[in-house]
Structure 1
Amino acid sequence: MAKRPVRIANCSGALTDPGDHMYNQAKYGEVDFITGDYLAELNMANDAEAYRNGQHPGWMPTAWDGLCKSVEILKEKRIKVIINGGCLNPRGLAEKTHNLVQEKKLNLKVAYVEGDDLLPRVHELIDKQERLKHLDAENPEVTLVQGTKDFLKSPGSNMVVSANAYLGIRAIKRGLEEGADIIICGRVSDASPVMAAAAWWHGWPDSAYDELAGSLIAGHLIECSTYVTGANFAGFYKYDIKDLLNLGLPIVEIDSKGECVVTKHEALPGFVTEDTVKCQLLYELQGNIYLNSDVKADITHIQVKEESKNRVHVSGVKGYPPPPTTKFAVFYKGGFQCEITINATGYATAKKYELQEAQVRSKLQEWGLLEQFDTLDFQRIGVPAENPRCQLESTTSLRIFAQAKDAATLGKLAQAWTYNGMAHFAGMHSTLDMRQLRPIPFNAYCPAIVEQKELEESINIIIDPSTHKVKKLVVGPPQKTERLAARDNYETSNPVDLASFGPTVDRPLGDIALARSGDKGANVNIGILVHTAEEWDWLRSFMTRKKMQDLMGTDWKDWYFVERVEMPLIKAVHFVVYGPLGRGVSSSRLLDALGKGFAEFIRAVRVPIPKKFLNL
């Protein structure tokens, strides 16, 4: 007889989520597991050098805060915890947690996962793997931004600051089999804690690919904190502000088939609807195949159906054996960067910014320095209101952003700007704090792949931290793997003649469509969805790859590349735009370095929408 669904509550989607969430998820209802994702790719790189220099504990303070606040109620309610808050030092946080439970005499078994940190072996792996394969290297249409592999030019150097493989479920699951109550992970794939909990609960073998794939998507749906309970939601404007405050975090109930129900504690604010689930599903995808170290999930025919208030059922995910490789996040010293933002008000704004750019560029050219900049961008932000009612309505900004290999070059940018400081355009103003013009070092990102057989992934059960005694169990790579095929990329089949939808009116795409976007290394993804069958026929016929390029306007660059797939049962078209984020979040020249605002930009562009969809 099938076991009841396992209830898994999320307590974090980023390092900023406070420990209160872990406590609330334990307190306000019955759950079997609490999982938390504290790691953006940027966290590990930013803290790596400080950790090695003894200036950072290596683990996430908010994860420790949650454990301190929750450990007694976890014991009382027999809730198991799996979190990646160990970051660069999972052993350190695990030992600290073990000491906490010993002091409180709670008799909880603490374990930690190791094997993701490949920094000691990074140069060996670079050489061994044909100088390190980029995640997008197999796609001949993709152009990598200049400098992506600069660190490969200096083998044996100290350019690399962190190098972590994305681990799967095998060590976590083995820890649960050994009786662990709290498992601290470093860089595991975001959904791995949820998958491991479900696989252990239901006793799935490694070959239960459909079930594992379903749990992978369940983990994806709840891994981002409140993103599925009302946050980062394109349809938020339909709700009262009071309903968007202090949002509770989600819960997923995964049954023995891998299907799930997304829900939340009724006592906590927020809402779970088909739309919030669909939008989160579309977040940070690479297409219709979602990859994990233990399974490939095909979400082409995924279904999302509301069962009742705050209960949404997800099914239709198909699973296949995992790839022999896993993602390998390498961060390296990229150079230095600086920026300054100045403001213009009112009349002739475009000419004002044109003058400012010319003043800076001409002075750098005169000094023979212009070619030494890797990046020098003059980004115009906003459009002044016509007939403004106050000065702020009439004010826009110019962001000057620069990167170079050495700090001295960037120092000349400040000199070029101040040289013309009193020759500024009419009404120029800015913050009086010039510290942002000081060059600061930045880390660049190379998303690569590593063979799973190269990893020594292990679960470590703490016996006695004072003597460093642990029970270490190494888990091997997946028993069966499949090489990755080329990603799907296609226009719609049987497009409908757009004229058949009748008269149109130019309105923002967001008047009928929701969307979600995010970063995938150097790339931006966006999923766009509608609600009725007729709207779907229009959307899939209208939203071609060329149309996406057109909607991007002057942001589109000829060297970018677009992939497109469809998810017809949720009426969504999904795109990946390769290239806009350069060398990743930590070094992107874009103001929206995480790509989160891209979907809202596309929704704001006016397109010819059939009047019948707008009830006009």
Structure 2
Amino acid sequence: MEQQSNGDARGTRPVRIANCSGGQMEPGWQMRKQASLGQVDFITGDWLAENNIAQEATAMDAGTGEGFKKNAWDGLQLSMDVIAEKGIKVVINGGGLGPQNLAKRCQELVDKNNYGLTVAYVSGDNIVGRVRSSLKESGKLPGSFQDMSGNNHKDATFTADQVLACTAYLGARAIVKGLENGADIIICGRVADAAPIMGAAWWWYGWSDTDYDRLAGSFLAGHIIECSAYASGSNFSGFTRFPMETFIDSGFPIAEVEQDGACVITKHEGTGGMVTEETVKCQLLYEIQGNVYLNSDVKALLDEAEIKEVGKDRVRLSGVKGRPPPPTTKLAIFFKGGYEAQNLANFAGYASRRKHKLYETQIRARLEEMDLLKSFDILEFQAIGNAREDPRFMFESTTYSRIFAQAKSPEPLSALKLLLADNTQQKPSGLHWAQDMRTADPKSFYVYYPCIMPQDEIEEAVHLLEKGGKTEQSIPCTRPPAYEYFDEKRDSYDPVNPTPLESFGPTVSMPLGNIVIGRSGDKGPNVNMGLFTDRAEIWEWLRSFLTLDRMKSLVGRDWKDEFKIERVEFPRIFAIHFVIYGILGRGVSSSTLLDNRGKGFTDYIRAKHVDVPKKFLQWTWEEGDDDF
């Protein structure tokens, strides 16, 4: 099919927005695939997460980076010829802390090849200078900022010199302004993950900034596709029901956003993976905040969201309602946290748990003798895995010990590594070390400190470049015309009028995952998790069974009384959503957990054995062969 130019098609049909990246490791050739394999109007990409802004700041300070994500630049170099030929517009957040640097690289490429494209970049998100100045002058953050770190950062203090980066989450306003003024490629820094998709649809239809239902719909379209293949087969907990070959190379998603903000999620024909109601539901429930999802431009209400298959690899999302945005936006501060190390060792066979305990007791005793225990901010001895009873081969008998340590200086961590070496001949039986011991060497880490700040204090603008890379025009952006305060006490409730569980008849014990799928992720120190069934017949049992207390019990020994839990229902899609506050500690890079982003949490809960009504057995599916 011949591409219809943006100028001819704008507003007359759904805008086709193809996303090419969901994280900093996404390879550049995925952008070229999205541009080449079929008709699209926009390519968007999300390369930023709450951890890699600090990485870019560290690289810039060391003189080894320009602030932007390398893979984003790779994608632009690989794809620019196709983008120019087909008239595709590009909006990405891969500019990181140096969007102007990446924009200038793009302009050099445009000039060299006479592509005739207009390049722009967005500013206003980077406010590290203001934060450092306030800390120097008063020892505090600016007075209008609100600390959202909770108990996970109750002892955290940092100075201006320790602050690595500070970025406010922008919306789509500068993107729209850039497109209105002729930009073909817009490089952003820390805009919200969905903002590139929102901005594309907003401009395409010429919506006003009070078209809240439409904006909210495009916001959720962006939310669905911004994690790339997560909407089209990757990270899909229901994969066991399908041939494994389906998921070897999942095609990346496309959102066809309609005039009213509803959308159809699809992918290029002939690519792997799949787009189904289940894959889209999983992504809808991923990393949201409950039934109200906040954004700088709109507040999205998800209670009436509907997801319906309308064709092969075509799923329609509708029913999202919008309200004015809150007067504040999310603010991510990163500061130097000190040093950390991981010491890994394996234990084989008999009495593994007792071996782990002896190992910990030995090491703590030696540290106490050396007067080093108080030198650690964190020192955890973690026993990972369980040895199988009557193992069939050695891997089934192997667990490993993870000693996770953090300190303000590297010396205690180096001393710990040396101590473990000195203790080699006194080790418990069955201990064998990993070949690669580099994780035991001290390395610096940073801490993510979440806040919110008033939107009206942001000075956002879009800058259009001219040939040679100089700024031809800088266009300031207005703030939202109206705000609506959001009650920080979010909806949370147990099932209303639940059906007594005994009324469902006899039960059988099995993994919850045999009848429920879902997805989980991180929101700083918190885990969010959505679980759902694909059967109306099971929904009433599921909502009656999965109470707040039930979830606490399923979390098991990982639950602590200091955590807080919220629960809401989405009956139109047979889903229940939970947020567990504080379970990731300080979150992301400074979390002590193996699963420091909560990605595996849903499948942990799905592995729990629960009493399921026997009458549902006709709709269960099994895990598959566990041999490997």
TM-score by length of 2: 0.94
Report the Cα distance in structure 2 between the residues aligned to 1:439 and 1:78, rounded to whole angstroms.
Answer: 49
Asked whether the equivalents of residues 342 and 440 of structure 2 are also in contact (C-alpha less than 8 Å), the reply is: yes
Report the Cα distance in structure 2 between the residues aligned to 1:412 and 1:12, rounded to whole angstroms.
Answer: 41
1:357 aligns with 2:386: no
What's the counterpart of residue 476 of structure 2? Answer: 474
Asked whether the equivalents of residues 135 and 327 of structure 1 are also in contact (C-alpha less than 8 Å), the reply is: no
CA positional deviation for 1:407: 1.4
Report the Cα distance in structure 2 between the residues aligned to 1:433 and 1:34, rounded to whole angstroms.
Answer: 40
1:560 aligns with 2:563: yes
Q: How does 1:202-601 map to 2 (within 5 A)?
A: 202-465=205-468, 468-485=470-487, 486-601=489-604
Report the Cα distance in structure 1 between the residues aligned to 2:144 and 2:313, rounded to whole angstroms.
Answer: 49
Report the Cα distance in structure 2 between the residues aligned to 1:132 and 1:420, rounded to whole angstroms.
Answer: 49
1:106 aligns with 2:129: no
- The amino acid of 1:471's aligned partner reads Q
1:172 aligns with 2:175: yes
Deviates more, 1:427-436 or 1:604-613: 427-436
1:607 aligns with 2:620: no
Distance 1:415 1:53, change over 3 A: closer
- The amino acid of 1:290's aligned partner reads Y
Q: How does 1:188-207 map to 2 (within 5 A)?
A: 188-207=191-210
CA positional deviation for 1:68: 1.1
- The amino acid of 1:472's aligned partner reads S
Asked whether the equivalents of residues 56 and 96 of structure 2 are also in contact (C-alpha less than 8 Å), the reply is: no
Unaligned runs of 5+ in 2: 1-9, 621-628
CA positional deviation for 1:146: 4.2
1:3 aligns with 2:12: yes
Report the Cα distance in structure 1 between the residues aligned to 2:304 and 2:417, rounded to whole angstroms.
Answer: 54
Asked whether the equivalents of residues 125 and 132 of structure 1 are also in contact (C-alpha less than 8 Å), the reply is: no
Asked whether the equivalents of residues 82 and 183 of structure 1 are also in contact (C-alpha less than 8 Å), the reply is: yes
Asked whether the equivalents of residues 253 and 266 of structure 2 are also in contact (C-alpha less than 8 Å), the reply is: yes
- The amino acid of 2:148's aligned partner reads L
For residue 82 of structure 1, the aligned residue among 66, 80, 91 is: 91
Report the Cα distance in structure 2 between the residues aligned to 1:300 and 1:534, rounded to whole angstroms.
Answer: 20
Report the Cα distance in structure 1 between the residues aligned to 2:508 and 2:253, rounded to whole angstroms.
Answer: 39
- The amino acid of 2:421's aligned partner reads T
CA positional deviation for 1:575: 0.6
Report the Cα distance in structure 2 between the residues aligned to 1:362 and 1:32, rounded to whole angstroms.
Answer: 64
- The amino acid of 1:150's aligned partner reads T
Deviations 1:498-537 (A, max 9, x none): 1111111111100000010001001111100012223111
Report the Cα distance in structure 2 between the residues aligned to 1:588 and 1:136, rounded to whole angstroms.
Answer: 13
1:95 aligns with 2:97: no
How many pairs are equivalent? 605
Report the Cα distance in structure 2 between the residues aligned to 1:566 and 1:512, rounded to whole angstroms.
Answer: 17
SS at match of 1:91: helix
CA positional deviation for 1:477: 1.5
1:123 aligns with 2:123: no
CA positional deviation for 1:132: 3.8
- The amino acid of 1:29's aligned partner reads G
Asked whether the equivalents of residues 111 and 467 of structure 2 are also in contact (C-alpha less than 8 Å), the reply is: no
Report the Cα distance in structure 1 between the residues aligned to 2:154 and 2:482, rounded to whole angstroms.
Answer: 36
Distance 1:75 1:558, change over 3 A: same
CA positional deviation for 1:124: 4.6
- The amino acid of 1:382's aligned partner reads G
Distance 1:131 1:316, change over 3 A: closer
Deviates more, 1:437-446 or 1:271-280: 437-446
Distance 1:547 1:381, change over 3 A: same
What's the counterpart of residue 140 of structure 1? Answer: none
Distance 1:136 1:501, change over 3 A: farther
For residue 58 of structure 2, the aligned residue among 49, 55, 60 is: 49
What's the counterpart of residue 47 of structure 2? Answer: 38
Report the Cα distance in structure 1 between the residues aligned to 2:377 and 2:442, rounded to whole angstroms.
Answer: 14
- The amino acid of 1:475's aligned partner reads C
- The amino acid of 2:297's aligned partner reads D
Report the Cα distance in structure 1 between the residues aligned to 2:167 and 2:348, rounded to whole angstroms.
Answer: 47
CA positional deviation for 1:145: 4.3
SS at match of 1:231: coil
Report the Cα distance in structure 2 between the residues aligned to 1:123 and 1:496, rounded to whole angstroms.
Answer: 56
Report the Cα distance in structure 2 between the residues aligned to 1:24 and 1:95, rounded to whole angstroms.
Answer: 24
- The amino acid of 2:123's aligned partner reads E
Report the Cα distance in structure 2 between the residues aligned to 1:100 and 1:556, rounded to whole angstroms.
Answer: 53
Asked whether the equivalents of residues 456 and 479 of structure 2 are also in contact (C-alpha less than 8 Å), the reply is: yes
Asked whether the equivalents of residues 145 and 579 of structure 1 are also in contact (C-alpha less than 8 Å), the reply is: no
Distance 1:131 1:362, change over 3 A: farther
SS at match of 1:484: coil
Report the Cα distance in structure 2 between the residues aligned to 1:470 and 1:48, rounded to whole angstroms.
Answer: 27
For residue 15 of structure 1, the aligned residue among 11, 19, 24 is: 24
What's the counterpart of residue 33 of structure 2? Answer: 24
Asked whether the equivalents of residues 466 and 472 of structure 2 are also in contact (C-alpha less than 8 Å), the reply is: yes
Deviations 1:185-210 (A, max 9, x none): 01100000000100100110000000
Deviates more, 1:232-241 or 1:184-193: 232-241
CA positional deviation for 1:435: 2.4
Report the Cα distance in structure 2 between the residues aligned to 1:150 and 1:434, rounded to whole angstroms.
Answer: 32
- The amino acid of 2:295's aligned partner reads N
SS at match of 2:164: strand
Report the Cα distance in structure 2 between the residues aligned to 1:146 and 1:373, rounded to whole angstroms.
Answer: 17
SS at match of 1:144: helix
CA positional deviation for 1:348: 0.4
SS at match of 1:600: helix
Deviations 1:235-290 (A, max 9, x none): 11222222212221000001010000000001221200000000011111111111
SS at match of 1:41: coil
Deviations 1:453-491 (A, max 9, x none): 11111100002445x333111112111111111211111
Report the Cα distance in structure 2 between the residues aligned to 1:124 and 1:525, rounded to whole angstroms.
Answer: 35
CA positional deviation for 1:583: 1.4
TM-score by length of 1: 0.96
Report the Cα distance in structure 1 between the residues aligned to 2:58 and 2:534, rounded to whole angstroms.
Answer: 48
Report the Cα distance in structure 1 between the residues aligned to 2:113 and 2:340, rounded to whole angstroms.
Answer: 48
- The amino acid of 2:24's aligned partner reads L
Deviates more, 1:318-327 or 1:378-387: 378-387
Asked whether the equivalents of residues 28 and 267 of structure 1 are also in contact (C-alpha less than 8 Å), the reply is: no
CA positional deviation for 1:402: 0.8
CA positional deviation for 1:317: 0.5
Report the Cα distance in structure 1 between the residues aligned to 2:141 and 2:353, rounded to whole angstroms.
Answer: 52
1:62 aligns with 2:71: yes
What's the counterpart of residue 135 of structure 1? Answer: 148
CA positional deviation for 1:52: 2.9
Report the Cα distance in structure 2 between the residues aligned to 1:298 and 1:371, rounded to whole angstroms.
Answer: 48
Asked whether the equivalents of residues 131 and 142 of structure 2 are also in contact (C-alpha less than 8 Å), the reply is: no
